[in-house]
Amino acid sequence: MKTANKKITAERLVKDALDKAKHFADYNIFTFLNEEGALKKAREIDARIARGEKVGKLAGVPYALKDNFLSPEGETTASAHILQEFISPVTATAVAKLEAEDAIMIGRTNLDAFAHGSSTENSFFGPTLNAYDKERVAGGSSGGSAVAVALDIVEFATGTDTGGSIRQPASFNGVFGLKPTYGCVSRYGVVAMASSTDCIGFFTKTPEDMDLLMSIASGQDPKDLTTLADYYNGESQEQCLEGLPEVTTEDDGASDPSLKNTVLAPRRIGIIKDFDNESVDKSIRDALKEKCELLKSKGHEIVELKMPSLKYALPAYYIIVPAEVASNLSRYDGVRYGFRSDESKDLDQLYENTRSEGFMPENKRRIMIGNFVLSSGFYDAYFLKAAKARTLIIEEYEKAFEKCDYILTPVSPSPAFKLGEKVNDPIAMYFEDVMSVSLNLAGVPGLTIPVGKTDTGLPIGLQLVGPRRSDKKLINFAKEIA
């Protein structure tokens, strides 16, 4: 990724990004353009460069911030009416880490309100259009971020992935998208969707950029007790390859022994047989087969896996996640910040009107499902049962990774669909997530790799899945096979 230096100034990089953002305005990517703030910061960085001072690893790199990350720059709305005019006094840990390395946020990107959706059509600001076909959806919920990177407006964008919200839009727009291991990147300061499955990740154009961003953003955070002890950067190259067959390097090791020069040993790649059926678009199944042939030809082994518990993933997900959603959205009541309905005569009306007017239909649907499955008398039948299914899924992934090193699967059943095609059919929309949600329930990392295009020119992505804490290995393997 291009960083600022004496020749190419941060101001130049930021101006270019802002120009492109305006040029592509009809895609409805941004909910806020940070023109003033970004240029001010760019000039500061340029001044430091001119004085010969040290600058960060992301000096002057323009990036896009999904609008559910808190920072004082612009309103943090999560593309929801109920958070209109909310300017955060605090900064998300992930944002603070990027800014500490001198990255420059040029705008906030559109999403399905509160990240509820798979197409960005549930946004209060209207849908974001697909980078390759304006008639089609960007995917979601991180649609704006995916398109911002796909259209080369920014070098990278942040995303959140609760059930596929990074991987699916990355796949729909032909970019890399990582959902890290649960707990790898701090959730502090990111508008919560479902606490036990929310993951913070990125959209990039290369696996190398992803590696750099993860080395910066990952790590334990005292403000998020669910973060894991630092492992991303702690992993030396040796540890990273530990337990794997012999390793050879292309050169004699005289140059920098970075992983770029390493030819990795043959790996066992798992293919989930359960997903190989008619419900998956032929173009995607063909792309997966093609990739497998390629991997075989490079000496890797393809292992067929049966993972029968994965069929419970979608129903379990749509019980656990709405329950946490309903709970996490309780705080938006119009009392302390954000939108408040004016027409209320008493407290009950204040709640009712504020929440009725402030939430999108999909938000309300999930609140209702969530409250239902948690209600007295239904908890055991729904929530507890789903939690048990989740345990089965976790165990099934553990078993699978005894048989293989990575799993390669489709991200979603089809490439980008038409705008309006599924938005009024919630079940069809939920089915979009059938291949992505099991990773969130199991807490394992998944990386979307662009692998080609359909006959009609729509991007196709596949997701590479690894065991917990294998994020770096996953990215390194992607460098090799992408």
Partner 1 sequence: MKYIPTIGIECHVQLATKTKLFSEVDNDARGKEPNSCVSPVDYALPGMLPRLNGEAIKFAIRAGKAMNCKINEHSRFDRKHYFYPDSPKGYQITQFYEPIIGEGFVELPSGTRIRIEHAHLEGDAGKLTHFSDYSLVDFNRVDTPLIEIVSMPDIHSAKDAHDYCKELWRLMIFAEVSYGDLYNGNMRFDVNISLAPEGTKELGTRAEVKNLNSFRSVERAVEYEIKRQTKLLEAGKKVVQETRGWNDADGKTTGQRSKEEAKDYRYMPEPDLPPINLTKEFIETEAAKLPLMPADYRKMFGKTIKSDILEILLDYPQLAYKLKEIASPSHPERAQVRSPKLIALDGKVSAISLIANLFVSVLLAEEKSAEYLNDLPSAKDLTELAEMNKKKELSSTATKEVFLHLFDPQMKGRGSKQIAKELGLIQENDLGALEKIVDAVLAKPETKKAQDDFKAGEEKVIGFLVGQVMKESRGKANPSAVQDILRKKLA
Q: Judged by CB under 8 A, which of 187, 267, 291, 366 binds partner 1?
A: 187
Which string of x and - marks every residue 207-236 that binds partner 1 (by CB under 8 A)? ---------------xxxxx----------
CA 247 from centre of chain: 32
C-alpha pair distances (Å), 334 with each of 69, 78, 399: 20, 16, 47
The question of whether 186 is a catalytic residue gets the answer: no
Neighbours of 195 (CB within 10 A): 15
Mapped onto helix, strand or coil, the DSSP state of residue 462 is strand
Q: Does 374 bind partner 1 (CB under 8 A)?
A: yes
Interaction of residue 182 with partner 1, rule CB under 8 A? no
Give the shortest CB-375-to-partner 1 separation in angstroms.
Answer: 5
Residue 192 in contact with partner 1, rule: CB under 8 A: yes
119, 165, 218, 436: the active-site residue:
165
Q: Which is nearer to partner 1, 222 or 243 (CB)?
A: 222
Return the residues of window 340-359 that contact partner 1 according to CB under 8 A.
347, 351
Q: Which of 10, 14, 83, 178 binds partner 1 (CB under 8 A)?
A: 83
Count of beta carbons in the 10 Å neighbourhood of residue 254: 7
* Positions of E strands within 266-376: 268-272, 301-305
Q: Based on the shown chain and the rule CB under 8 A, indicate whether residue 376 belongs to the binding site for partner 1.
A: yes
Q: Is 297 a catalytic residue?
A: no
For 139-208, where are the E strands, in sequence order? 156-161, 176-179, 199-204
* Amino acid at the residue 482: A
CA atoms of 257 and 241, how far apart (whole Å) = 13
Q: Is 414 a catalytic residue?
A: no
Return d(Cα 441, Cα 182) in angstroms, integer: 9
Decide: 140 and 117 in contact? Cβ < 8 Å.
yes
Whole-angstrom Cα distance, residue 143 to residue 162?
14
> Is position 86 an interface residue for partner 1 (rule: CB under 8 A)?
yes
Tell the smallest beta-carbon distance from residue 86 to partner 1 (Å): 7
| Total residues belonging to the chain | 482
Work out which of 2, 306, 331, 418 binds partner 1, going by CB under 8 A: 331
Piece of 54-62, 134-142, 188-196, 410-418 that binds partner 1 (CB under 8 A): 188-196
Give the separation between CA 138 and CA 119, rounded to whole angstroms: 6
**89 binds partner 1, rule: CB under 8 A:** yes
Select from 84, 233, 330, 391 the one that contacts partner 1 (CB under 8 A): 330
In whole angstroms, the minimum distance from the beta carbon of 158 to partner 1 comes to 13
The residue within the footprint of partner 1, chosen from 3, 31, 79, 88 (CB under 8 A), is 88
| Residue closer to partner 1 (CB basis): 36 or 346 | 346
Extract the tokens encoding 429: 């929309």
Q: Site for partner 1 (CB under 8 A): which residue of 139, 143, 144, 189?
A: 189
Q: 415 vs 281, 283, 377, CA distance in Å?
A: 8, 8, 40
For 393, counting Cβ atoms within 10 Å of its Cβ (0-12 exposed, 13-18 middle, 19+ buried), the class is buried
By annotation, the residues acting in catalysis are 66, 141, 165
The residue ranges that bind partner 1 (CB under 8 A) are 68-70, 76, 78, 83, 86, 88-90, 92, 187-192, 194-196, 222-226, 323-324, 326-327, 329-333, 335-337, 347, 351, 371, 374-376, 379, 383
